[in-house]
Amino acid sequence: MVDVQVLRRKLQLLEEYLATLRRISQVTLEEHLEDPRIHGSIERFLHLTAECAIDIASHLVSDQALGAPETYRDVFRILEDAGQMPAELALQMQAWAGFRNVLVHLYEGLDRERCWCAAREQLGEIDDFARWAAGYL
């Protein structure tokens, strides 16, 4: 059974991260690239957003005893394989799990333009995920 209180708290946190990202990403690409406070903030909130989405999905998998994921991407595959998550959303979220790994492990060569674009153009995927996950409330 899904712990509704945990899910509600995590979804609220996810919404806060998304709101912050939308606010801080309203800069030009040049401002983003030149100011370490801006790109650092965007990178960190992208990481927190991805981490929170993975955590929500992990709770859903665990609470329903759907399996034991070996990777962050597996969490979304398991939900899709169980017929709970639409295939397109599962693919998008697997990409976010991969992006999380880039943010965490490949920070030295991080493509800052990619981060700026993700914050400005791909947050709708996380919105879709949040709406989907809210269906468990």
CB contact at 8 A, 66 and 82: yes
pLDDT tens for each residue of 50-87: 999 999 999 999 999 999 999 999 999 999 999 999 99
Structural domain count, the chain: 1
What is the model's pLDDT at position 123? 97
Q: What is the CATH number of the domain that holds 124?
A: 1.20.120.580
Q: What per-residue confidence (pLDDT) applies to 3?
A: 86
Angstrom distance (rounded) from CA 61 to CA 82: 9
Q: How confident is the model at residue 137 (pLDDT cuts 50, 70, 90)?
A: confident
Would you state the structure tokens that stand for residue 25, as one six-digit string?
């990403």
Cβ neighbors of 64 (< 8 A, separation 6 or more) are 1, 2, 82
Q: Please, are residues 51 and 100 in contact by the beta-carbon 8 Å criterion? A: yes
Domain that holds residue 130: 4-134
Q: Over range 101-124, report the average pLDDT.
A: 92
* pLDDT at residue 115 greater than cutoff 90: yes
pLDDT 10s digits, 12-60: 999 999 999 999 999 999 999 999 999 999 999 999 999 999 999 999 9
